Chain A
Amino acid sequence: MLFTLLSHEWKSFWRSRSAGKSLAVQIFLGFIGLYLLMVAISVGIFLKTFIEKGFPGQDTILVFCGFILYYFFVDILFRFFVQELPTLSIQPYLGQNIRRSQLIQFLNVRSIFNFFNLLPLLLFLPFTIVTITAKYGAAASANFFISIFALTLFNHFLVLFVKRKTIVNSWWLVIFFVAIAVLGLCDYFKLFSLSHVSTIVFSKFLFHPWLCIVPIAMAVLSYLNNYRFLYKNLYLEDIERKSKRKEGADYTFLDRFGTIGELIAVDVKLLLRNKRPRSMLILSTIFLFYGFLFYKPQYLTNGDWGFILMGAIIITGLFIMNYGQFLFAWQSSHFDGLMSSNLHASTYIKSKFLLLIAVSTIIFLLSTLYGFMAWQIVLIQIAAFLYNIGINMLIVAYFATRSYKAIDIDRKAAFNYQGTSAAQWFYMLAVMIVPTAIYLPFSLLINKWAGIAALGIAGLISFLLQDWWIGILTKEFFKRKYLILQGFREK
């Protein structure tokens, strides 16, 4: 039975609507996966050399022991964000003649096939086999290997359990993060050292092979705990999010903008009430801090304003780029309705523009705080902002009229490539090429400030022609309206 269920899962992976269609995306992701795999393997193979280089004169194996707990600590946090819960896929089986224990077994086994569970093996196995065997013998090596694998599984089932708990009760989320933060801060302020604890614990493992019982026991307990929890809660209503009472919101200040205001209000609700746009918003907020990465002191002192400009375009345009790449697709689930309601396409596009401009303006105002680093940054950001609302927004909207893929806004955003198609890749190219093409001639012929000014002025002129652009985009939209509609209907 377990095998049948796993084979269904295999089929659902390969036959999913998005699998066959976006071959380019699949290949791209495949390459990324392969790349990560290669990196992990080479890090694993050269781990010994890395440690010798990084910690000269110290016992490599003891340094290695000190790392293990750190790894699993970070692993938990990372898993928490990225690892998905394999829950809803069991819905069709609940009514069939399958024992509950079998279903839970399936859920648990299915979840083990995960990149995170492969990673520690790739990272640590070579070192364990070569270095530890050479010095402490096969028993110690096997002990390490088993322990690391067991700890991986412990983390795995612990995260699944905590994530499931947080769905039912969000206090678990708070407790989880407080615990992680306390541990991290204690280590940071040297109240106690994770690496010290790790060294002490794992160096014992070298001499006492039987100690691997402890991690094994931890893994088994973690598994059983998860099993027990699922066994008790394998009802759809428990797995589904406990819904709070939803209240309507009313943005009266948007009322004065008529239909467009109403459309923007709907968009704002879309952003706030759905998983994927919400995490997109959070990501955008994090991107705001990219300034600390882009605006490097050496650029400022050397007057490398071109680099600063690049950073400024990304920061002031982050909402335009992140939200805009799926400009219409966000509403794919009700696009049929929008297109047959009493609403002209140009009004619809205009409302999208106003939303992008409004949010970008807020981001721009926040980003002026970088002016404290150097006043020139503000000037450059003004140029970048004008470029973004004048030109970048048009590019985004144009590619939106060529993007036919629906997205499910109720799924999380991280590592979610649903809805990504060739249009998005072309857009990324355009995002890099267009500003360079405007900036470069002026900066080479006159100077860097001329290039920046050219970009800002070009943006401003284009911005003033917005209504004309909307007319053109509406025509473009109508050319491919049926393709968009058809694409959005295929979920």
Chain B
Amino acid sequence: MIIVDNIGKAYGSEIVVDIQQLQINVGETVGLVGNNGAGKTTLFRLLLDLIKADRGQILSKEKNVATSEDWKSYTAAYLDEGFLIGYLTPEEYFYFVGKLNNRSKADVDEFLKTFDAFFDGSILKSGKYIRDLSKGNQFKVGIAACLLQNPEILILDEPFANLDPSTQMRLIKMLKEMQEQKRMTIFISSHDLNHVTDVCSRILLMEKGKIIKDLQKNEETLKELEQYFKV
């Protein structure tokens, strides 16, 4: 599905991403872990063609993401508030995203009904613009907007960081369902080792731009990660 081919990115003399070869297959749930500055967000931005790579390329369905715009139709991502339109109400934003993906308003409404529990009553009909929502609630809007696109590839940057515990649990459940029912390819980064090993079938450990460990999940994975992050 995604092939990262010898990609490199540096800011000045500081190398942020330096990956020789990485392949992500259809239906895989991949978790990206690493300390701050390891290059997780930069890698995501490269995947979404938001920054220019110094060398190498990223192929999505055999097409270079930097030269073809085809990936946009089956990829959904939420990295930060920069993906939300602050001056819209959540509903307006959902309709907007729906429209971009050829989903009618009724269709979007129907979809949003399944998110009632996830939204916990604080998103829809809240009488607020997105910019006035709390960070956690903005995140919920972002995640829901991603799933609304019914993507084949889903990219989320630290989805658990701003959510309350119950929503974290709901999100984990949702991600698992997506993977099982729709064979969605999911790529998330997280600092929460428990959650990420719970959700993901494969863990990539990044350090200074390099992927230093590529683990298929088993009972030992969490321990191994904890060993790495031990102070």
Please choose the segment from A105-113, A241-249, A293-301, A382-390 that sits at the chain B interface, where 4 or more of its residues have CB less than 8 A away: A241-249
Type the 1/0 row for A336-377, where 1 means its CB is closer than 8 Å to any CB of B: 110111111100000000000000000000000000000000
**Which chain A residues in 72-90 approach chain B with CB under 8 Å?**
none
What residues on B are CB-neighbors of A485 within 8 Å? Answer: 50-51
The A interface, classified by DSSP as helix, strand, loop or mixed, is helix
Given A262-B100, A340-B49, does the pair A273, B87 have CB atoms closer than 8 Å?
Answer: yes
- From residue A78, how far is it (CB to closest CB) to chain B in Å? 29
A333-B88 Cα distance, complex, nearest whole Å:
13
What residues on A are CB-neighbors of B83 within 8 Å? Answer: 334, 336-337, 340
A482-B77 Cα distance, complex, nearest whole Å:
18
A345-B69 Cα distance, complex, nearest whole Å:
9
A335 at interface, CB cutoff 8 A: yes
- From residue B143, how far is it (CB to closest CB) to chain A in Å? 13
What residues on B are CB-neighbors of A273 within 8 Å? Answer: 87, 129
What residues on A are CB-neighbors of B80 within 8 Å? Answer: 336
A344-B132 Cα distance, complex, nearest whole Å:
29
Task: Supply 14 further A-B pairs (C-beta < 8 A) apart from A273-B87, A274-B87, A489-B82.
Answer: A247-B127, A266-B96, A269-B87, A273-B129, A333-B81, A334-B81, A334-B82, A336-B50, A336-B82, A341-B100, A342-B101, A409-B87, A482-B51, A485-B51
Nearest B residue to A347, CB-CB: B100
- From residue B49, how far is it (CB to closest CB) to chain A in Å? 7
A485-B87 Cα distance, complex, nearest whole Å:
20
- From residue A487, how far is it (CB to closest CB) to chain B in Å? 12
Identify B129's interface contact among A246, A335, A336, CB under 8 A: A246
Provide 23 A-B residue pairs closer than 8 Å at the C-beta atoms, listed in order of the A residue: A243-B132, A246-B128, A248-B91, A248-B92, A262-B95, A262-B96, A262-B100, A265-B96, A266-B85, A269-B88, A274-B87, A334-B82, A334-B86, A336-B79, A336-B80, A336-B82, A337-B83, A340-B49, A343-B72, A344-B69, A345-B69, A482-B51, A485-B51
A319-B53 Cα distance, complex, nearest whole Å:
37
Across chains A and B, the number of contacting residue pairs, with CB separation under 8 Å, is 87
A211 at interface, CB cutoff 8 A: no
- From residue B85, how far is it (CB to closest CB) to chain A in Å? 5
What residues on B are CB-neighbors of A489 within 8 Å? Answer: 82
Category for how many chain B residues contact A: 35 or more
A486 at interface, CB cutoff 8 A: yes
What residues on A are CB-neighbors of B49 within 8 Å? Answer: 339-340
A270 at interface, CB cutoff 8 A: yes
A341-B72 Cα distance, complex, nearest whole Å:
6
Are A342 and B86 neighbours in the complex by a CB distance under 8 Å?
Answer: no
Given A269-B87, A337-B82, A342-B149, does the pair A246, B72 have CB atoms closer than 8 Å?
Answer: no
A259-B129 Cα distance, complex, nearest whole Å:
22
Given A248-B92, A273-B129, A485-B50, does the pair A337, B85 have CB atoms closer than 8 Å?
Answer: yes
Are A341 and B97 neighbours in the complex by a CB distance under 8 Å?
Answer: yes
**Which chain B residues in 192-208 approach chain A with CB under 8 Å?**
none
**Which chain B residues in 88-118 approach chain A with CB under 8 Å?**
88-89, 91-92, 95-97, 99-101
A252-B43 Cα distance, complex, nearest whole Å:
39
Identify A262's interface contact among B69, B72, B99, B132, CB under 8 A: B99
A39-B149 Cα distance, complex, nearest whole Å:
60
A88-B86 Cα distance, complex, nearest whole Å:
19
Type the 1/0 row for B127-151, where 1 means its CB is closer than 8 Å to any CB of A: 1110110000000000000000100
Identify B92's interface contact among A249, A335, A343, A486, CB under 8 A: A249
Interface residues of B (CB under 8 A from A): 45, 48-52, 69, 72-73, 75, 77, 79-89, 91-92, 95-97, 99-101, 127-129, 131-132, 149
A426-B30 Cα distance, complex, nearest whole Å:
47
- From residue A15, how far is it (CB to closest CB) to chain B in Å? 20
Are B99 and A333 neighbours in the complex by a CB distance under 8 Å?
Answer: no
Nearest A residue to B53, CB-CB: A482
Type the 1/0 row for A441-477, where 1 means its CB is closer than 8 Å to any CB of B: 0000000000000000000000000000000000000
Are B89 and A248 neighbours in the complex by a CB distance under 8 Å?
Answer: yes
Are B92 and A334 neighbours in the complex by a CB distance under 8 Å?
Answer: no
- From residue B123, how far is it (CB to closest CB) to chain A in Å? 13
What residues on A are CB-neighbors of B132 within 8 Å? Answer: 243, 246
Given A243-B128, A337-B85, A340-B48, does the pair A259, B69 have CB atoms closer than 8 Å?
Answer: no
What residues on A are CB-neighbors of B72 within 8 Å? Answer: 340-344
What residues on B are CB-neighbors of A343 within 8 Å? Answer: 72, 100
- From residue B176, how far is it (CB to closest CB) to chain A in Å? 24
What residues on B are CB-neighbors of A249 within 8 Å? Answer: 92
Given A246-B129, A342-B149, does the pair A337, B101 have CB atoms closer than 8 Å?
Answer: no
Interface centre among A258, A269, A331, A335 (most CB of B within 10 A): A269
What residues on B are CB-neighbors of A339 within 8 Å? Answer: 48-50
A265-B87 Cα distance, complex, nearest whole Å:
12
Identify A486's interface contact among B51, B73, B86, B127, CB under 8 A: B51
A273-B128 Cα distance, complex, nearest whole Å:
12
Are A333 and B86 neighbours in the complex by a CB distance under 8 Å?
Answer: yes
Are A246 and B51 neighbours in the complex by a CB distance under 8 Å?
Answer: no
Are A246 and B84 neighbours in the complex by a CB distance under 8 Å?
Answer: no
What residues on A are CB-neighbors of B129 within 8 Å? Answer: 246, 273
Shortest Cβ-Cβ A-B pairs, 7 listed: A337-B83, A245-B127, A482-B52, A336-B82, A262-B99, A248-B89, A340-B48
Are A269 and B92 neighbours in the complex by a CB distance under 8 Å?
Answer: yes
- From residue A320, how far is it (CB to closest CB) to chain B in Å? 22
What residues on A are CB-neighbors of B69 within 8 Å? Answer: 344-345
A246-B100 Cα distance, complex, nearest whole Å:
24
Given A246-B128, A334-B82, does the pair A340, B77 have CB atoms closer than 8 Å?
Answer: yes
What residues on B are CB-neighbors of A331 within 8 Å? Answer: 85
What residues on B are CB-neighbors of A246 within 8 Å? Answer: 89, 127-129, 132
Are A259 and B100 neighbours in the complex by a CB distance under 8 Å?
Answer: yes
A335-B80 Cα distance, complex, nearest whole Å:
11
Interface centre among A245, A270, A344, A482 (most CB of B within 10 A): A482
